[in-house]
């Protein structure tokens, strides 16, 4: 298992014990002892602490690392590099070791996080890592799993995809769905000040978005559906308290590997669900 | 009571062949005329044919792999979009349309029922969520079982009596947990073998980790299905899909399963011969000859349509091969203990010899298999083509001159490897009605569908007679779903939700304690959270076992 730019010990708390590094299975009954764990990250993390191999790389080098790994896996000659030449701050010989380890394993998985997707190169880093993983399948079985953040992001991706065809950055302005990440994504729309009101559901932009985007958001009318006090609720114009899914209401959650799970209701909550509020809002808007 | 008058009625199940008859509809059912009942509405079907609603027996329209394909291929959607109207939702997509558009597009062709052909039990909740957002259609899912660890473990036991009993219970449990309709087998044993980085399997290759052979696996499944009296037999995607010379495996599989209820799906992909120089040629004649002598089997064709497609299947080794061969983008998933899956977008071209031969083989099967009740029209949507091409394929079947004019545009050497140019048969309207309606209803054990007899579900499609059969079937004059008018002149008038078809076989509804222990150790989800909750099916309908 290779955690690349991901630190699930802190970001996906149950992932290691229930699903990845520590999980016991039919063919690895001993769990963690039966598998090799590699962490590639720019700093020592709690996930890295328990790795068999931790490669602390220099920031912004993920594309290069993945590309060199592809060459090493295929046995291609790397001109101008010796065994001690640093790639991403790590000597080539160590990458060669990793490439061998990947080829030798029966079944490998790369779990990549925002350390890869939100650093220099972004989607290109991912393209290269995925190509590496594709090519690994000529030798053994290898998979890549996105370690998405913030609760049910994948659920939102899945529902948008089956209803509109696109997982994110969907614009309905023309009456049909259009898709353009970087153009219709939240940060870009806010940065260009094209938005004049915002309905915010199950997220905390005050905590996650760049300062410039947050400042603009603060200048327009905002409605927030939120069970907790958050950085956004402190300045939003309207806050509608809702029952949290999986505690106060039932729902569906999509796991990192796209498996849909049922969320149960545990206790009665004084507040309505997100769905009830959105339905009521839709009805009122229709009547306006 | 609604009355459809002056239409030429096609109801092959009742041997009605285009006679002008009146059809009466009341409370969502076809009914007989009873004097004194008030006729609330009359539909004039002069110059039209009246048929039962179309039934899709094999299509990939909902669930994890379909949605992954939508995400993977935005280029499929940009040029194909629909705005919302007062009655319908917006959406995008050509070979992998969004769920609302999928429902509208089927309905606008006169189809009223569709089955999603491959769902792992672990991902059934997702498939049901999507079908809940697919309007206009009664629907159901087939649950994948032929690479499932629990199935293989049960079948590799020494005690045969216990093994058989446990298998019946396990199939019942998987079907009821996933709220599935039928048992699907995809490349039996071959998907699991690939997960172990081993090669393709033949019927007698022992498959890790239990050493079970595909032959034993298949025989176990069909026997259990027969004893459980499931309304649809084993829905089988055989081994070696798409490989030159695979007709031998297909025939051997058929011989192995003789006498059992089996539906061979997308048979076009399994009817490839091989030349001495190892090139691909048609083996449709050999396959058709066998099926003509074995009326107990049914199949669907999986007809190739030239143009873009998005291949998606649980057959992950096949998809990896396709990716390596074409260099096209690829996505692959390993569904834990159950199965795998893969996605590769493709383009079928008439000028590519391989594609041209594939195109001919599908049509040859449709023309050489004599009994239309045995072969059902599909494109294995969206693998061989989009389902929206059905009117085009109907014209190819009904109009030999048109077919030959297309044949002339194919790769120049196509004729050397196929028989199509020698086939003169043209389908009649009755035969079209059988391969799109009556036969799938019969193969699926749906006694209320696929015919227009008293008590049948009032799913009716009315088409204006035209010489150009593609135009005729592309734009029905009227479509009724459960007695409601939903489409006029090919336009969707209103969005309605259909029923979810499920089965409740008489096996044990709980998992055997040994398997429950395995489940607890090996699944990434707790047993108590596994089964699809009732909340995911708004209108379930249990179809009785036979």
pLDDT in tens, A229-254: 999 999 999 999 999 999 999 999 99
Q: By C-alpha distance, which of B381, B98, B526 is closest to A165? A: B98
User: How many Cβ atoms sit within 10 Å of the Cβ of residue B526?
Assistant: 11
* Helices and strands (H, E) in chain B, number of each type: 17, 26
Q: Residue B36 pLDDT more than 90?
A: no
Name the residue among A29, A163, A260 with its Cβ closest to that of B133: A163
Range name among A212-221, B35-44, B247-256 with the lowest pLDDT average: B35-44
Residue B310 and residue B73 in contact, taking contact as beta carbons nearer than 8 Å: yes
Band (pLDDT 50/70/90 cuts) for residue B229 is: very high
Domain with CATH 3.40.228.10 in chain A: 2-146
Q: By C-alpha distance, which of B385, B444, B294 is closest to B59? A: B385
Q: What is the topology classification, in CATH, of domain A2-146? A: Dimethylsulfoxide Reductase; domain 2 (3.40.228)
Range name among A12-21, B78-87, B115-124, B423-432 with the lowest pLDDT average: A12-21
Q: Residue A149 pLDDT more than 80?
A: no
Residues B19 and A172: their CA atoms lie apart, in Å, by 49
Contact yes or no for A259 and B123 at CB 8 A: yes
Q: Is the bond preceding B209 in cis, omega lying within 30 degrees of 0?
A: yes
Q: Which residue reads 């459809």 in tokens?
A: B4
Band (pLDDT 50/70/90 cuts) for residue B411 is: very high
Distance from CA of A84 to the nearest CA of B (A): 33
pLDDT of residue A222: 98
Tell how far CA B44 is from the center of its chain.
Answer: 33
Residues B377 and B462: their CA atoms lie apart, in Å, by 19
Residues B20 and B43: their CA atoms lie apart, in Å, by 14
Residue B13 and residue B456 in contact, taking contact as beta carbons nearer than 8 Å: no
Residues of chain A neighbouring B196 (CB-CB closer than 8 A): 106
User: How many Cβ atoms sit within 10 Å of the Cβ of residue A106?
Assistant: 12
Name the residue among B74, B84, B330 with its Cβ closest to that of A179: B74
Name the residue among B90, B99, B533 with its Cβ closest to that of A177: B90
Q: By C-alpha distance, which of B205, B232, B228, B200 is closest to B216? A: B205
Closest alpha carbon within chain A to B66: A162
H or E segment and range at residue B473: helix B469-474
A74 touches chain B (CB under 8 A): no
A23 touches chain B (CB under 8 A): yes
Q: Residue A83 pLDDT more than 80?
A: yes
Distance from CA of B183 to the nearest CA of A (A): 21
pLDDT of residue A121: 87
Contact yes or no for B91 and A165 at CB 8 A: yes
Residues B125 and A96: their CA atoms lie apart, in Å, by 42
Which of A162, A166, A257 should we substitute to test contact with B (largest number of B Cβ atoms within 10 Å)?
A: A162
| Architecture of the domain whose range is A153-287 | 3-Layer(aba) Sandwich (3.40)
Band (pLDDT 50/70/90 cuts) for residue A119 is: confident
Q: Residue B362 pLDDT more than 80?
A: yes
Closest alpha carbon within chain B to A176: B83
Residues of chain B neighbouring A24 (CB-CB closer than 8 A): 521
A34 touches chain B (CB under 8 A): no
Half-sphere exposure in the Cβ direction for B160 (13 Å, CA): 5
Residues B36 and B7: their CA atoms lie apart, in Å, by 23
Contact yes or no for A164 and B83 at CB 8 A: no
Interface size A-B, in CB pairs within 8 Å, comes to 123
User: How many Cβ atoms sit within 10 Å of the Cβ of residue A175?
Assistant: 11
Band (pLDDT 50/70/90 cuts) for residue B240 is: very high
- 184-223 in chain A: CB under 8 A from chain B: none
Residues of chain A neighbouring B75 (CB-CB closer than 8 A): none
pLDDT of residue B157: 94
Closest alpha carbon within chain A to B198: A140
Distance from CA of B228 to the nearest CA of A (A): 29
Instruction: Supply the ipTM of this predicted assembly.
Output: 0.96
Band (pLDDT 50/70/90 cuts) for residue B164 is: very high
Residues of chain B neighbouring A175 (CB-CB closer than 8 A): 83-84, 90
Distance from CA of A252 to the nearest CA of B (A): 9
Band (pLDDT 50/70/90 cuts) for residue B296 is: very high
Name the residue among A158, A165, A262 with its Cβ closest to that of B98: A165
pLDDT of residue B397: 98
* φ, ψ for residue A27, nearest 5 deg: -100, -10
Residue B55 and residue B444 in contact, taking contact as beta carbons nearer than 8 Å: yes
Ramachandran quadrant class, B371 (left: phi over 0; alpha: psi -120 to 50; beta: rest): beta
Domain with CATH 3.40.50.740 in chain A: 153-287
Cβ neighbors of A27 (< 8 A, separation 6 or more) are B209
User: In degrees to the nearest 10, what's the CA dihedral of B79, B80, B83, B84?
Assistant: -150
pLDDT of residue B34: 84
Closest alpha carbon within chain A to B81: A176
Q: In this prediction, what percent of chain B has a pLDDT beyond 90?
A: 97
Which of A165, A170, A265 should we substitute to test contact with B (largest number of B Cβ atoms within 10 Å)?
A: A165
CA distance readout (Å), A20 to A24, A144, B64, B88: 9, 12, 21, 43
Which of B62, B68, B74, B93 should we substitute to test contact with A (largest number of A Cβ atoms within 10 Å)?
A: B74
Q: Residue A150 pLDDT more than 80?
A: no
Q: Is the bond preceding B21 in cis, omega lying within 30 degrees of 0?
A: no
Q: Residue B101 pLDDT more than 80?
A: yes
Band (pLDDT 50/70/90 cuts) for residue A25 is: confident
Contact yes or no for B126 and A165 at CB 8 A: no
Distance from CA of A163 to the nearest CA of B (A): 5
Residue A109 bridge partners (DSSP): A143
H or E segment and range at residue B51: strand B48-52
Residues B336 and B339: their CA atoms lie apart, in Å, by 7
Torsion sign across C-alpha atoms B39, B41, B47, B50:
negative
Closest alpha carbon within chain B to A28: B522
User: In degrees to the nearest 10, what's the CA dihedral of B355, B357, B360, B365?
Assistant: -110
pLDDT in tens, B444-500: 999 999 999 999 999 999 999 999 999 999 999 999 999 999 999 999 999 999 999
Could you write out the DSSP letters of every residue in B409-432? TS-TTGGGG--GGG------HHHH
Please provide the distance, in angstroms rounded to a whole number, between the alpha carbons at the two ends of chain B: 32
H or E segment and range at residue B64: helix B64-72
Q: Strand B54-59 vs strand B111-119: parallel, antiparallel, or unpaired?
A: parallel
Q: Residue B509 pLDDT more than 90?
A: no
Residues B469 and B385: their CA atoms lie apart, in Å, by 19
Q: Residue B290 pLDDT more than 90?
A: yes
Residues A150 and A202: their CA atoms lie apart, in Å, by 9
Contact yes or no for B71 and A23 at CB 8 A: no
CA distance readout (Å), A36 to A1, A102, A179, A256, A259: 6, 10, 40, 21, 25
Contact yes or no for A165 and B522 at CB 8 A: no
Residues A230 and A150: their CA atoms lie apart, in Å, by 14
Mean pLDDT of chain B: 97
Q: Which two tokens stand for residue B142?
A: 């087939």
Per DSSP, helices labelled H in B229-352 are: 247-256, 284-292, 316-326
A181 touches chain B (CB under 8 A): no
Average pLDDT over residues B506-525: 91
Distance from CA of B190 to the nearest CA of A (A): 14
CA distance readout (Å), B97 to A80, A88, B67, B79, B241: 49, 42, 10, 12, 25
Q: Strand B234-237 vs strand B182-186: parallel, antiparallel, or unpaired?
A: parallel
pLDDT of residue A70: 98
Closest alpha carbon within chain B to A162: B98
Distance from CA of A258 to the nearest CA of B (A): 7
Distance from CA of A83 to the nearest CA of B (A): 31
User: How many Cβ atoms sit within 10 Å of the Cβ of residue B20?
Assistant: 12
pLDDT of residue B546: 85
Distance from CA of B322 to the nearest CA of A (A): 13
Contact yes or no for B126 and A260 at CB 8 A: yes
Helix B214-228 / helix B160-178 crossing angle, nearest 10 deg: 70
Distance from CA of B69 to the nearest CA of A (A): 9
Per DSSP, helices labelled H in chain A are: 8-11, 46-49, 62-74, 92-104, 114-117, 123-136, 153-164, 186-191, 205-208, 211-219, 274-287
A138 touches chain B (CB under 8 A): yes
Cβ neighbors of B392 (< 8 A, separation 6 or more) are B305, B470
A19 touches chain B (CB under 8 A): yes
Distance from CA of A30 to the nearest CA of B (A): 11
Residue B450 and residue B38 in contact, taking contact as beta carbons nearer than 8 Å: no
Average pLDDT over residues B25-50: 94
Name the residue among A18, A107, A162 with its Cβ closest to that of B98: A162
What is the 3-class SS of B93-158, one letter each residue? CCCCCCHHHHHHHHHCCCEEEEEEEEECHHHHHHHHHHHHCCCCCEEEEEEECCCCHHHHHHHCCC
Q: Residue A148 pLDDT more than 90?
A: no
A165 touches chain B (CB under 8 A): yes
pLDDT of residue B37: 86
pLDDT of residue B293: 98
Q: Strand B262-264 vs strand B298-300: parallel, antiparallel, or unpaired?
A: parallel
Contact yes or no for B209 and A140 at CB 8 A: no
Q: Which two tokens stand for residue B111?
A: 């189809």
pLDDT in tens, B245-273: 999 999 999 999 999 999 999 999 999 99
3-state secondary structure of B90: coil
Q: By C-alpha distance, which of B98, B63, B62, B60 is closest to B77? A: B98
Residues of chain B neighbouring A143 (CB-CB closer than 8 A): 332-334
Cα radius of gyration rounded to whole Å, chain A = 22
Residues of chain B neighbouring A168 (CB-CB closer than 8 A): none
Average pLDDT over residues B320-329: 96
Report the b/e string of A189-223 with b at 16+ CB within 10 A. Answer: bbeeeeeeebebebbbbbeebeeebbebbeeeebb
Tell how far CA B468 is from the center of its chain.
Answer: 26
Residues B321 and B326: their CA atoms lie apart, in Å, by 9
Residues B449 and B111: their CA atoms lie apart, in Å, by 11
Closest alpha carbon within chain A to B72: A166
H or E segment and range at residue B516: helix B513-522
Q: Which two tokens stand for residue A262?
A: 């049922």
Average pLDDT over residues B118-127: 98
User: How many Cβ atoms sit within 10 Å of the Cβ of residue B527?
Assistant: 15
Q: By C-alpha distance, which of B50, B217, B52, B108 is closest to B475? A: B108
Distance from CA of B209 to the nearest CA of A (A): 9
pLDDT of residue A94: 97
Average pLDDT over residues A23-32: 90
pTM score: 0.97
């Amino acid at each position: 298992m290779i955690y690349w730019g991901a630190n699930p010990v802190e970001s996906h708390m149950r992932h290691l014990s229930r699903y990845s590094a520590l999980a016991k299975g039919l063919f690895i009954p001993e769990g963690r002892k039966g598998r090799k764990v590699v962490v590639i990250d720019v700093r020592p993390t709690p996930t890295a602490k328990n790795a068999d191999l931790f490669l602390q790389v220099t920031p912004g080098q993920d594309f290069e690392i993945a590309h060199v790994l592809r060459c090493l896996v295929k046995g291609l000659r790397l001109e101008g590099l010796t065994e001690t030449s640093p790639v991403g701050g790590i000597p080539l010989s160590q990458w060669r070791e990793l490439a061998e380890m990947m080829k030798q394993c029966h079944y490998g998985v790369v779990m990549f996080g925002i350390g890869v997707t939100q650093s220099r190169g972004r989607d290109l880093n991912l393209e290269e890592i995925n190509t590496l993983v594709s090519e690994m399948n000529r030798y053994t079985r290898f998979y890549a799993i996105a370690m998405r953040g913030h609760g049910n992001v994948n659920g939102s991706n899945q529902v948008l995809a089956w209803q509109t065809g696109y997982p994110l950055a969907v614009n309905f302005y023309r009456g049909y769905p259009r898709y353009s990440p970087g153009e219709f994504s939240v940060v870009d729309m806010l940065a260009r000040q094209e938005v004049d009101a915002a309905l915010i559901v199950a997220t905390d932009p005050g905590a996650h978005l760049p300062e410039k985007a947050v400042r603009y958001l603060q200048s327009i009318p905002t409605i927030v559906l939120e069970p907790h006090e958050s950085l956004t609720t402190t300045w939003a114009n309207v806050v509608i308290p809702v029952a949290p899914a999986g505690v106060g209401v039932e729902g569906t959650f999509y796991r990192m590997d796209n498996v849909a799970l049922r969320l149960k209701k545990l206790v009665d909550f004084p507040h309505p669900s997100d769905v009830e509020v959105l339905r009521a809002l839709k009805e009122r808007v229709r009547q306006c | 009571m609604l009355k459809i008058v002056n239409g030429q009625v096609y109801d092959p199940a009742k041997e009605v062949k285009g006679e002008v008859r009146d059809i009466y509809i009341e409370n969502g059912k076809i009914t007989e005329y009873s004097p004194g009942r008030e006729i609330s509405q009359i539909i004039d079907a002069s110059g039209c044919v009246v048929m039962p609603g179309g039934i899709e027996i094999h299509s990939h329209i909902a669930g994890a792999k379909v949605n992954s394909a939508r995400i993977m291929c935005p280029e499929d959607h940009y040029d194909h979009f629909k705005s919302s109207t007062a009655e319908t939702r917006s959406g995008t997509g050509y070979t992998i349309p969004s769920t609302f558009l999928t429902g509208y597009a089927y309905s606008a062709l006169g189809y009223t029922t569709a089955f999603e052909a491959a769902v792992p039990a672990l991902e059934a909740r997702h498939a049901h969520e999507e079908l809940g957002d697919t309007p206009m259609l009664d629907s159901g899912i087939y649950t994948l079982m032929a690479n499932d660890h629990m199935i293989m473990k049960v079948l590799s036991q020494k005690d045969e009596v216990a093994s058989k009993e446990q298998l019946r219970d396990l199939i019942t449990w998987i079907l009821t947990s996933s709220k599935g309709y039928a048992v699907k087998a995809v490349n039996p044993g071959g998907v699991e073998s690939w997960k172990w980085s081993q090669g393709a399997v033949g019927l007698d290759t022992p498959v890790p980790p239990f050493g079970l052979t595909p032959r034993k696996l298949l025989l176990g499944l069909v026997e259990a299905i027969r004893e459980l009296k499931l309304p649809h037999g084993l829905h089988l995607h055989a081994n070696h899909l798409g490989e030159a010379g695979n007709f031998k495996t297909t025939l051997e599989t058929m011989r192995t399963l003789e006498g059992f209820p089996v539906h061979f799906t997308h048979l076009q992909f399994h009817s490839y011969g091989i030349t001495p120089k190892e090139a691909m040629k048609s083996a449709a004649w050999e396959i058709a000859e066998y099926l003509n002598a074995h009326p107990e089997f049914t199949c669907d064709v999986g007809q190739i349509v030239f143009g873009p497609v998005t291949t998606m299947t649980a057959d992950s080794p096949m998809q990896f091969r396709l990716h390596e061969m074409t260099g096209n983008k690829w996505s692959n998933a390993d569904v834990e203990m159950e199965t795998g899956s893969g996605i590769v977008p493709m383009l079928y071209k008439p000028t590519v010899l391989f594609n041209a031969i594939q195109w001919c083989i599908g049509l040859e099967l449709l023309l050489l298999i004599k009994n239309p009740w045995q072969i059902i029209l599909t494109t294995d949507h969206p693998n061989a083509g989009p389902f929206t091409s059905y009117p085009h394929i109907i014209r190819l079947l009904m109009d030999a001159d048109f077919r030959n004019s297309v044949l002339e545009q194919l790769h120049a050497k196509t004729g050397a490897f196929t028989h199509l140019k020698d086939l003169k048969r043209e389908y009649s309207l009755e035969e079209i009605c059988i391969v799109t309606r009556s036969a799938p209803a019969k193969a699926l054990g749906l006694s209320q569908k696929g015919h227009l007899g008293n008590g049948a579900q009032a799913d009716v499609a009315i088409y204006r007679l035209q010489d150009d059969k593609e135009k005729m079937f592309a734009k029905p004059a009227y479509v009724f779903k459960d007695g409601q008018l939903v489409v006029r002149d090919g336009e969707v008038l209103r969005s309605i939700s259909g029923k979810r078809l499920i089965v409740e076989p008489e096996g044990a509804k709980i998992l055997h304690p040994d398997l429950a222990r395995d489940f607890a150790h090996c699944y990434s989800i707790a047993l108590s959270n596994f089964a699809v909750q009732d909340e995911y099916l708004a209108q379930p309908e249990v179809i009785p076992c036979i």
